[in-house]
Chain A
Amino acid sequence: MKISRRNILKAGLGLSVALLDSTQLLNVLAKPQANKTKNVLLVIQLLGGNDGLNTIIPYGDGKYYDLRPRIGIRQNEVIQINNQIGFHPSLEKFAKLYQDKQLAIIQGVGYPNPNLSHFRSLEIWQTAYPNSIASTGWLGRYIDETASDDNLFPGINLDLALPKSLSANKIIVPSIANFPDFKFNVDSHFQNDEQSQIQAFKSIYKNFRTKNSDLNLIKHTGIGALESTFKIPDMVANYKILTTYPNNEFANKLKYIACLIANNCESSIYNLSLSGFDTHANQAYQQANLLKNLSDSLYAFHQDLEAHKVSDNVMTLIFSEFGRRPSQNDGQGTDHGTSQPVLIIGSKIKGNLYGQYPSLSSLDSGNLKHDLDFRSIYATILDKWLNADSQAVLGRNYEILPFV
């Protein structure tokens, strides 16, 4: 007799217990426990194309300063990693995590035939299919493979629009960009009509039928949104923030993610973006502020998770749609480029340097060549962190990296 947790829940625990022998009972009761400590992935998208050369800086290479006479970060400002490379001075907190072996730097990440369009390149990273237009994202396919359809929170997106990475075939991933307003309001003058309205709303949605799959999305998203509003307030109430976060929207959303994780929300995937990296002009000041916010906010998030003793189960993946051109332009900025460093944070990861720093002397039409395919990082996360089948999600096998 095969017993799934879902069937048990459907049958009602009292009835099930009577039908099970003691071994089975132990298995059943152990399952939610296992669920409770399952691993979580937070994906941070740096939108606009983060300048990788000024994030992990090859200060030991004179060519770097030839290419960037105005916007190169001076050697004495770089936070050194070794005698060749170092962190941007805004990334002080990341440097600290690196020292504690809780941050992995994967260098020279890209894909063949790089695309320099923001939108296509982001789509390539989100779908993990560089050679075709896919309708689903890599995390969407993971969720399709693993989540049960009665799971209201298979993943949670905190951006205003669902990123293609979370597009799935079977499951709709909810988006919650604004937690305080995530509720279904009814006329405050007639509170006693509230239940009738909610019931009618559900009934109308249930009875809505269409052959158009786009319109069907309204039906399923709408009903899921209503159901979710009943759960979210409980999960975010009474949460005690155990660290100080910077005061801005990005950090504020990280607080909610920490809160959901600490309160055992079933979601295994979170998505959040930080925008503004498209620094064609006047890059120095903008990127410095963005990187500082990124590093300080994620450090606070990490501390908060540690204080709640849940940091062992959380990994953060940070990527951008592309890096930027090694040579600066006339506006003290940089144009669209190719390969970039990808950063991974987590208490239980193997913090270190991985891959090769791209060569500044062997460029391809002025752009960096890549050393490592980003899908190797995805495959590693899927197989080693999320206990999934990377081949099923990515369509083939990729080299597994030792950062987990």
Chain B
Amino acid sequence: MKTTNHNEYLIQHLLRRAGFGYNQMDLDFFQNLGYGPSVDYLLYPDPHNDNDLNDILSKENFDFTNIENVKRWWLMKMAFTKNPLQEKITLFWHGHFATSNAKVNQTPLMYFQNQTFRNKGLSHFKDLLQAMLYDPAMIRWLDNQENNVGKPNENFSREVMELFTLGIGHYTEEDVKQGARAFTGYHSRGFNFYFDKNQHDYGEKIYLEQTGKFNGNDIVKILANQPQCANFIAYKLCKFFASDKPSNSLVNDLALTYKKNNGNITTMLYTLFNHDEFKSPVCYRNKIKSPVEYAIGTIKTLEKKKITSDLPKYLASMGQDLFYPPSVKGWDGGTAWIASDTLLARYNFANQIIQNKMDNLENDYILPTILIKKYNLNTSNDLISYFSELFIDNDMNPDIHQSFCNYLNDNDNNNDIINFTSWDDLKLDAKLRGIIHLFLTSPMYNIA
């Protein structure tokens, strides 16, 4: 049973999907803008918005040859950027063109690829696909370094069709072989792309029923112009931003936008976020949060100011180790996020975030006495309502409300509305942190 009218929470919905959640300040800002202008604001990131963040980042002196540093750098951007969609689309492409440092083993290359996703992620798909053909991390990841005339290596050629543009069933094994020939000689040297003209196969190829002396750029154009490529990218965007099981009509509308606008990603997302279905209960609170959404969302809502160095490890145990996707297919998402140990990792991250705030009382949002005074929360009902609104758009049935009450009043049913002034500070502290932990571990909070 849903007690929530979703129309009241569309800004929250948008910020969870197009970004990584919100705190009260974000909500005030975007609610003031209104839904449509908020979509525009998110779709056209202004670099000046992040001047303050860039100052903070530069003071951190990140070492971009160290993968743990690069992870924390990116997580800080996700948590504190004023252009959240730019980071969200970067995460999308990282999962789409899934490249793992486990094999690349060159942190700077992973960092450069990540910047490419950020800089080109909202442009035309063809440009991004071409950038991947020239991307040294990708070249090493899919062995195009070893792809030479005469004895082609099929790895990149296969995955570019199966996973990046068309999907299985829309090409033949012969296309894989012919494509591999066209990609011969696309190598890297050091941190740069290098076209080894002596290793390129200049002969004629028959590829997806077209014939010509194709090179890699020609193949990129052929692929990006396939109607199936529009469908495939539309489906992947819908699955990531809208619904774990997107409807055909939503996917078709996005595919049409792709075809009409030469694969412009910004325009596709404009169609998506303004789509009636996106704003309806079909999508609203009907998708499983990814670990990054879960963790960064929590950090934002609780107004944490720092990203601790253990966050990447928590994310890895939740099943999303950034820069180390499980395979070239990326993260499956949806129900694949849900397993006993990955859920426990979420719960234990939530517990850690509640605890370590107590050890560092400075600027502590959940310092109980401050919180209770600031929001005038005097009874258990006040407290439950406040957090229910903050964390889960009030999406909770009366029985669950009662479960929270029972926790606060230690199952004393005659005492449903506790007045906190009667509690000592220690008990108040314990129960307050406890109830936040219970909200963060609840099934409702795992829904985006």
Contacts and interface: CB of A to CB of B under 8 A. Distances in A.
Interface stretch (A99-107, A219-227, A244-252, A256-264): A219-227
Contacts of A196: 407, 410, 434
A204 B152 contact: no
Nearest to B431: A193
A203 B441 CA distance: 12
Contact of B340 (A47, A200, A221): A221
A175 interface: yes
Interface in A149-187: 157, 160-162, 172, 174-178, 181-187
B343 interface: yes
Contacts of A88: none
Interface in B72-106: none
Interface in A296-315: none
B288 A280 contact: no
A19 to B, nearest CB: 36
B345 interface: yes
Contacts of A118: 327-329
B406 interface: yes
B444 A214 contact: no
B152 A330 contact: yes
B407 A200 contact: yes
B399 A335 contact: no
Nearest to A197: B434
A193 B430 contact: yes
A117 B443 contact: no
Contacts of A365: 173
B443 A218 contact: yes
Nearest to B285: A215
B339 A186 contact: no
A201 interface: yes
Interface stretch (B6-14, B109-117, B143-151, B228-236): B143-151
Nearest to A203: B403
A331 interface: yes
Interface string B1-22: 1000000000000000000000
Contacts of B152: 329-330
B311 interface: no
A189 interface: yes
Contact of A161 (B145, B148, B339, B441): B339
Interface string B339-381: 1111111011001101100100000000000000000000000
A119 to B, nearest CB: 5
A39 interface: no
Contacts of A193: 430-431, 434
Interface in B402-448: 402-404, 406-407, 410, 429-431, 433-434, 437-438, 441-444, 446-447
B404 A200 contact: yes
Interface string B137-164: 0000011011110111111001000100
B437 A225 contact: no
A103 B402 CA distance: 58
A39 B323 CA distance: 40
Interface string B303-327: 0000000000000010100000011
A239 interface: no
Contacts of B340: 172, 174-176, 221, 224-225, 228
A365 B352 CA distance: 56
Contact of A200 (B403, B443, B447): B403
B438 A330 contact: no
B335 interface: yes
A195 B93 CA distance: 43
A173 B240 CA distance: 26
A222 B153 contact: no
A188 interface: yes
A217 interface: yes
A200 B437 CA distance: 11
A190 B168 contact: no
Contacts of A119: 162, 168, 327, 329
Nearest to B319: A160
B136 to A, nearest CB: 15
A230 interface: no
B45 interface: no
A116 B175 CA distance: 13
B339 A157 contact: yes
B101 to A, nearest CB: 14
B332 interface: yes
A280 B156 CA distance: 10
Interface string B268-295: 0000000000000000001010000000
Contact of A281 (B153, B341, B342, B441): B153
A251 B230 CA distance: 44
A47 B341 CA distance: 21
B336 interface: yes
14 contacts: A119-B327, A160-B342, A186-B434, A187-B433, A197-B438, A204-B400, A214-B334, A215-B288, A218-B443, A219-B443, A329-B151, A329-B152, A330-B152, A331-B153
Interface of A: 47, 115-120, 157, 160-162, 172, 174-178, 181-190, 193, 196-197, 199-201, 203-205, 207-210, 212, 214-215, 217-219, 221-222, 224-225, 228-229, 278, 280-282, 328-333, 335-336, 365
Given A187-B430, A204-B442, A208-B442, 9 more contacts: A119-B327, A161-B319, A176-B340, A184-B344, A184-B347, A200-B403, A214-B334, A222-B343, A280-B154
